[in-house]
Amino acid sequence: MNQKGRGLIQLNDVRQKQQCLRSLYTVGIICRYGVETIEASEKTSGITMDMLLVTYVDFLQCGSSMEIKQKALQGCGSIFVVRPSVMLHKCFSTMLRVTLRLDSDRAIKLQSLRNIHDFLNHEEEKLDEAANEVLTANTGVEIAAAGGANNLQNASGEGDASLAGTIIQKYWPSLLTLLADKQTDIRVHTLGIVEIAYRQGLVHPMSCIARLISLQVDPEMQVFSIADRILKQVASRYPDFLDTCIGDGLNLSYHLQIQLKAEPHFPATKASLVGMGRFYKIMREQKTKRQKFLTLLLKPMLKDPHSSVAQVGIQQFTFNAEVLGSLPYQWQEEPLFCINDISSHINLRASVLLAALKTACAKEGALARAIAEGSIDLLQIQESSGVQDNPKSPGGSIQSQALTAIRNCREAACFCVLFVLKRHLKVLYGLSDTRCAAYISTAPKQTEVGQVDNLSRIDFSEMSSVIDESDVIDSLESISLRYKLMKKLLAEEGEDFDASKSQNRSKKRSKSLEEAGEVTTITGDDSEQRIRAKQRSQSVSVKPRRVCAFISRWAPVVDQPYV
C-alpha cells in the first residue's frame, strides 16, 4: 500500500491499484472480526485502531479513483461497527455528512448507507443476545430474537440514551433527505435504515411520517411496499401522529412525484394516483379521518387560494384535483363530501369574482387604459410586490387595482380547476344535482359505490392555457382569458343545475298525479287518456290548510283550497 503524499495518492499501474483495493478490504475485515487481536498486539506490532482509521480517512479523502474511495469508506464502516463512538467525533461526523449529501457520488452514498445499516444490525443482534441471555438465566428457556419487521418499539426515541440512538439521531436529517434521492437503490437502503430505527425505537415516529406518506407515490414497488408496511405499523400504534402529518406528507408527495416524473403531460403520474389511493385506504376506515384527508386536499383551493397559488403554483392544485378524482371511494358520501364543499365555495365567491374580472378586463376601465398607455407593467408589479396585496395602499390607485386583478386571476384559475373536478366526480359516480343538494354530512345512511374506473384522467384540456400560464399575467388578454373561461364553466354549471331542476319538477308532477288517482303511465299518442287525466286533476278537491296557529287566532280560516 502506497504512502500518502501531497494531493492524491498516486498508483503507478493497474496492478498496484488492485493490490491497494485488496489490502483495504482485507484490513477492514481484520478490523471488524479481529479487533481483540489488534488491541492485544499493539505493543509488539505498533499498529493501533486509530492508526488504521486515519489511514482509511486519508485514502477516502485523497484516493485517485472512486473505487479506492469506496473501499476506504467500507473499511471505515468496519471500524465504526466495533468502535461506534468514533462516529460522534467532529471530524468524522463532518465527513459522513458529506457522504450522505444528495449531490455526492452514488457509490459513496450507497456505501455510507451500508455502513450505518451494518452498525444498526450489529447493535440489534447484541441487544437480542443480551435479552436472550437474561431470559435464559431467569427461565431456563432460550427464545428467538425479538427483532422483526412486525415489531415497533414503544420508546420511539424519547429519552433514548443508548449510543446507537445518539448516532442515528445525529445523522437522521441527512437520512430523511436521501428518501427523496433520484436513485432507487439509495431510497431502498435508506428505508431499510428507517425500518430498523423504528423497530429499535431509536427515533420518534412523527419525524418520518410525512416522508413515508410521500413515498406512497414512488413508482418502484420495492420502495413503496416498504414505506407502506412501516406506515401501517405507525398508523396502528400512533394514529394521532399520522393525522397530524397528512398535510406535510401531501405536500412532499407532490414534490417527489415531480422529481421522479415520467409523464410530463399530466399534473400527476399514474403511480402517484395509485399511491395516494393506497394511503387513502388506510385513512378511510373512520369517517372523521377520511373527511380530514379530503379536507386537507381541498383546503388550499378553498381557503385563500390566491396565497396558495402564489406559493405552490396552479400545478399543485391540479395535482390535488387529480388525486381527489382518482381516490378509491367506497361510499357515495365520499365524493359527495368533496362536491358539497366545492359547491359551497362556488356559491359564496364565484359570482363576485366573475364580476370583478369583468370590470378589470373592460376596455373602458382605468386599468385597461393604463395598460394600453404603457404606464403600468403587470409583470413588473408581480415581481416587485410578490403578488401580495398591501392593505394600507389606497384602493383607488392603479397599482392597487392591478394587484387585485392579478389576485383575482389566480383565484379564477383555481375556480376553473374546481369546476372541472366537480363535473368529473358527478359524471364518474353518476351523481345528479338533486342528489348532491340532498347530501347531509352527518347522515348515517351510506350508499356503496358501484364499479367505476377511478383512475380515469380528469380532462383539463379546455383550461390547459390557464394551467400553463397561471404565473404569467402580463396583459389585458391574460385577464380576459381567465374571465371567459370561468364564465363558460360557470354557465355550464348553471345549465346542469337547471336541467336537473326541471327533471325534478316533472318527477314531482307525476308523483302528485299518481297520488290523485291518475294512471301511472301514459304512453303513445293516446289523447283521450291525457284529457281524462287533466279533467281529474282539475276536479280534485284539496282540504283547507291551516297556515299557522298564530294567524288562526286573529283571522278565520278561509274554507277554500290553499294554493
In a 3-state reduction of DSSP, which class is residue 63? strand
pLDDT at 311: 59
CA nearest to 361, candidates 396, 406, 320, 311: 406
Q: What is the DSSP letter of 448?
A: B
Q: How far is CA 392 from the centre of its chain?
A: 36
Strand partners, 9: 63
Say what the pLDDT of residue 118 is: 93
DSSP run (H or E) holding 172 = helix 172-178
Give residue 524's region: left, alpha or beta (phi > 0; psi -120 to 50): left
Is 310 strand, coil or helix? Answer: helix
Per-residue DSSP letter, 386: T
- Residue 300, C-alpha cell as written in the block: 388550499
* Alpha-carbon gap, residue 281 to 504, rounded angstroms: 35
Residues 6+ apart with CB under 8 A from 493: 346, 419, 422, 423
Contact 206, 241 (CB under 8 A): yes
**Which grid cell is 160?**
433514548
How crowded is residue 392: how many other Cβ atoms within 10 Å of its Cβ? 5
Q: 63 pairs with which residues across the strands?
A: 9
**Widest CA span in the chain:** 123
Q: How many CB atoms lie within 10 A of CB 121?
A: 15
Which three-class secondary structure state does DSSP give residue 463?
helix
CA 351, 353, 354, 358: dihedral to nearest 10 degrees? 140
User: Tens-digit pLDDT profile for the chain (563 aa)?
Assistant: 444 444 555 555 677 888 888 888 898 888 888 888 887 887 787 788 888 888 888 888 876 688 888 998 999 988 989 888 888 888 888 888 999 999 999 999 999 999 999 999 988 888 877 777 776 766 655 555 444 444 555 444 444 447 888 899 999 999 999 999 999 999 999 999 999 999 888 998 899 999 999 999 998 999 999 999 999 998 888 888 888 898 899 889 988 888 887 555 567 788 888 999 999 998 888 888 888 999 988 888 777 665 556 556 778 888 889 999 999 998 889 999 999 999 998 888 888 999 988 888 887 778 888 877 777 777 777 666 554 444 444 445 788 888 888 888 888 888 888 999 999 999 999 888 888 888 888 877 778 887 788 888 888 877 777 776 555 677 888 888 888 888 988 888 876 544 444 444 444 455 454 555 544 443 444 445 544 544 544 444 444 443 344 333 333 333 333 33
Residue 318: predicted pLDDT: 87
Q: Which three cell numbers stand for residue 256?
A: 417527489
DSSP bridge pairs for 448: 331
Q: Are 497 and 433 in contact (CB under 8 A)?
A: yes
Q: What is the pLDDT of residue 241?
A: 87
The candidate with the shortest Cα–Cα distance to 216, out of 187, 185, 239, is 187
> Which of 326, 341, 342, 334 lies closest to 448 in space, CA to CA?
334
> What's the chain's length in residues?
563
What residues form DSSP beta bridges with 190? none
CA angle 49, 51, 56 (to 5 degrees): 95
Residue with cell 398591501: 390
Residue type, 329: Y
Closest CA to 536 of 520, 510, 507, 516: 516
DSSP assignment of 395-421, as one string? TTSHHHHHHHHHHHHHHHHHHHHHHHH
Burial of residue 543 (number of CB atoms within 10 Å: 0-12, 13-18, 19+): exposed
DSSP for 207-258 reads GTHHHHHHGGG-S-HHHHHHHHHHHHHHHHH-HHHHHHTHHHHHHHHHHHHH
What does the alpha-carbon distance between residue 560 and residue 563 come to, in Å, rounded to a whole number? 9
Q: Tell me what pLDDT residue 150 has.
A: 45
Distance CA 380, CA 201 (A): 53
Going from N- to C-terminal start, the domains of the chain cover 330-513, 516-554
The 3-state DSSP class for residue 146 equals coil
- What is the rounded CA–CA span in Å between residue 356 and residue 19? 77
Task: Give the helix ranges, DSSP H, for 260-374.
Answer: 270-283, 287-302, 305-312, 314-326, 333-360, 366-373
| Distant-in-sequence contacts of 392-400, Cβ < 8 A, 24+ apart | 398/366, 398/367, 398/370
- 315: Cα within 13 Å, side-chain hemisphere: 14
